[in-house]
Structure 1
Amino acid sequence: MTPQDERRARLALVLPDGTPVGLTAAFRIDSPYEQDAAAIVDAARGALGIDVVLLRIAAWSVPDAVYTAEVADIPAIALDPVDPAFVADDPLRLTWARPGGPGEYLAWAREALADIGRPAVGDPVQVRSWNLSTLWMLPTSAGPVWLKAVPSFFAHEGALLERLSAFPVPRLIARTADAVLIAEVPGDDRYDPPIGAACRMVDLLIDIQTSVDPATLPPMPAWTPASLAPVAERTLRLAPEVAPADRDAVSTIIDGLPELQPSLDACGLSDTLVHGDFHGGNVRGDDDHLVILDWGDSGIGHPLLDVAAFTERMPPPFAARVTEHWLAAWRRAVPGSDPARALELVRPYAAVRQATLYRAFLDRIEPSEHPYHAQDPAMWLARAAELTR
């Protein structure tokens, strides 16, 4: 991290019952990611000598962001008064972002582990916390396990992992309404995979999609073109920054959504399980074994909807090779199908769908955390318009 990229933060401290304590001095964070709870917790311990549980980001600024954090007791350090806005409640706030909330999840996790004879040992480690999930690592007598809690609109992930237990997905240990305990997945997150590994990832996903009857899956979102049209119209209406020419192009795409399904059906690929956020960072493992992570964005839809997220950050020649492998795999899986034509039809539809997903995030998270996703609907709408050209 270069000096100009250096991030600093202050913590608005509260007790577990929500009582405000004070605002800390600013300290340096060696991570560019606002949701990197581990980096912030470690930096607070090193710079201020205090142990905290990160709750949420309360104010975005450069260089000193403000996070709300929980402390067990009032620390013996110099503190400034807390701005009431940093600790005020919000009706959309998630449980883990409220004082006492992380402790509730950890208590459930410890009880679930004790019930299976695998008690937690040592202190849990907070890894990530933001508006779409919170992630903790718990050491146990038989190795680490991971606690993940999600918003209600991702809460089908636990039931889906249970259904997909025979496939390369994280092994579910226990689940509740909005949280899962999963076993450690050895290896590394596979960001920027080489071409061979990227094609293997595609093959793993297609194997799941061709093996699982959608009728046997838990309730989850369904993304048909016709059902997308009204939410896409609203997404476009709430994105005034989209250029006029792009607005016209997206409007044309939306107008055509109700009639798109017969054309897709003629290509021979049926709706199935869609991962929803399929990319290398959501695959973990090593050169021999890969596991597909983070199924909270999943739903039922056209199988080629996953192409967009997987290839969007790849150099064009690399993306083209992966895409051709993807299409060839579907031609083998469904003889007589025309996945190339299907992908041509799906691309603008998939980009519009991405925009609507980010709009849905913004609708369901508190305003102070909107900057995580504020630019995404317009970006994907512009991408959809570009695809029509």
Structure 2
Amino acid sequence: MNRAIWEHAGATGPVVDLVDTELAQQGRVRTGPPELVRRWSISTVLLVPTDQGPVWFKAVPPVFAHEGALARWVASVQPRHAAPVLGSGPGWLLTEGLPEGDRDGTGLQEGPLAAAVRVQRASIGRSAELIALGCPERSTARITADLELLVDRTDLLGGPDAQRLAVALPELTRLLEEADGDGTPTVLVHGDIQEENALWTGRSWALIDWTDAALTHPFAELARPLMQATASQRARAEAEFAQAWADVLSPRTVSRALRLAPVLGAAHQVGNYFRIVEAVGATDGLDALLKEWVRRLLAAAARTAPRPARGLM
């Protein structure tokens, strides 16, 4: 079923039948043909008109087959930060359309990272439950293992980047091990918080597109939203995270996690894109994104590593 839905996700045949069946169970009727909004190597997205407002259908390849179950779980634990799920199955998801509020309104007092932190906090101690749903587990040890594999993949990185990664690997391993201490819980991280995946509804932020989600270190979440952040945006995000975890982690642990966040986040993204490229191929610029995150990881490690002491002149 998963492969069939993915292969027929261009708005005809089995997909339309599936959508109609799911809508009927909700007491709704499709009022027109689905509109193809996007189709590329990792998803097909359709906008479906119904008698009670539009709904969204998404189909994904087998590597993301768990997204529907994961989105349903998020909606169950943090409903104000998720789109209501109307139906889901291996490789597909049907969600309610959400209203879009004015982002310049006075009610907009926090960013989407605050919503992500609430989802993270709700996932503490529930890793086994999420793994059972198919959520990938990306511990720092697993990320290190992926980096070791990637060093030999000159077909993906090219020789110079692979060589630089090999040289940096011992220091990267040390930094990741340093981050993985003092009882920091493994949590559900969205992994791709950006403007397209965060919708302000007028009263809260709703997070969509959980294809990149994984169980990992909470501060890995900072990587994507801080890629092009201003100094004030970075300070705000770091403050939100520090405050959110102050009652769980010691000030020393929070400070260290913030210092190591660029390495944690970039390493997580490298492992994620490595997994995606291996599953769907180096298409649609995915290989370029993998290389970009490798370079970001190397730069973050260079900034984070302690500088050697200067000798007497």
Question: Do residues 306 (structure 1) and 221 (structure 2) align?
Answer: yes
Alignment partner, residue 200 of structure 1: 111
Higher-RCO chain (CA-CA 8 Å, sequence separation at least 6): 2
C-alpha contact 2:11 2:35 (8 A) present in aligned 1: no
SS in 1 for 2:58: strand
SS in 1 for 2:29: coil
In structure 2, C-alpha distance between the alignment counterparts of 1:204 and 1:220, rounded to whole Å: 19
Alignment partner, residue 191 of structure 2: 276
Question: Do residues 186 (structure 1) and 99 (structure 2) align?
Answer: yes
2:273 to 352, 358, 364: 358
SS in 2 for 1:311: coil
Alignment partner, residue 153 of structure 1: 63
In structure 2, C-alpha distance between the alignment counterparts of 1:155 and 1:280, rounded to whole Å: 24
Alignment partner, residue 289 of structure 1: 204
Q: Deviations over 1:188-242 (max 9, x none)?
A: 697xx99x95843222211221123323322311111211223212323335756
Question: Do residues 124 (structure 1) and 34 (structure 2) align?
Answer: yes
Question: Do residues 211 (structure 1) and 122 (structure 2) align?
Answer: yes
In structure 1, C-alpha distance between the alignment counterparts of 2:242 and 2:71, rounded to whole Å: 26
Amino acid at match of 1:209: Q
SS in 1 for 2:93: strand
Q: Which moved more, 1:351-360 or 1:221-230?
A: 351-360
Alignment partner, residue 311 of structure 2: none
Amino acid at match of 1:104: P
C-alpha contact 2:86 2:96 (8 A) present in aligned 1: yes
C-alpha contact 2:140 2:177 (8 A) present in aligned 1: no
C-alpha contact 2:56 2:94 (8 A) present in aligned 1: yes
Question: Do residues 139 (structure 1) and 49 (structure 2) align?
Answer: yes
Aligned residues: 291
- Provide TM-score, normalisation by structure 1: 0.66
Question: Do residues 324 (structure 1) and 229 (structure 2) align?
Answer: no
Amino acid at match of 1:216: E
Cα displacement (A) at 1:248? 5.7
**Residue ranges of structure 1 left out of the alignment (5+ in a row):** 1-92
Question: Do residues 386 (structure 1) and 296 (structure 2) align?
Answer: no
Q: Deviations over 1:262-294 (max 9, x none)?
A: 633434421111112122321112442221111
C-alpha contact 1:235 1:377 (8 A) present in aligned 2: no
Question: Do residues 229 (structure 1) and 136 (structure 2) align?
Answer: no
SS in 2 for 1:309: coil
Q: Deviations over 1:4-45 (max 9, x none)?
A: xxxxxxxxxxxxxxxxxxxxxxxxxxxxxxxxxxxxxxxxxx
SS in 1 for 2:223: helix
Q: Which moved more, 1:256-265 or 1:137-146?
A: 256-265
Question: Do residues 170 (structure 1) and 83 (structure 2) align?
Answer: yes
Alpha carbons of structure 1 residues 351 and 373: separation in structure 2 relative to 1, 3 Å:
same
Cα displacement (A) at 1:97? 5.0
In structure 1, C-alpha distance between the alignment counterparts of 2:47 and 2:18, rounded to whole Å: 14
Aligned CA RMSD, in angstroms, stands at 3.0
- Provide TM-score, normalisation by structure 2: 0.81
Question: Do residues 341 (structure 1) and 256 (structure 2) align?
Answer: yes
In structure 2, C-alpha distance between the alignment counterparts of 1:150 and 1:227, rounded to whole Å: 24
SS in 2 for 1:118: coil
Cα displacement (A) at 1:312? 0.6
- Relative to its length, the structure with more helix (as a share) is 2
Amino acid at match of 1:360: R
**Residue ranges of structure 2 left out of the alignment (5+ in a row):** 303-313
SS in 2 for 1:185: coil
Alpha carbons of structure 1 residues 326 and 221: separation in structure 2 relative to 1, 3 Å:
same
C-alpha contact 2:102 2:202 (8 A) present in aligned 1: no
Q: Sequence identity, in percent?
A: 26
Q: Deviations over 1:52-98 (max 9, x none)?
A: xxxxxxxxxxxxxxxxxxxxxxxxxxxxxxxxxxxxxxxxx985456
C-alpha contact 2:267 2:297 (8 A) present in aligned 1: yes
Alpha carbons of structure 1 residues 98 and 148: separation in structure 2 relative to 1, 3 Å:
closer
Amino acid at match of 2:89: T
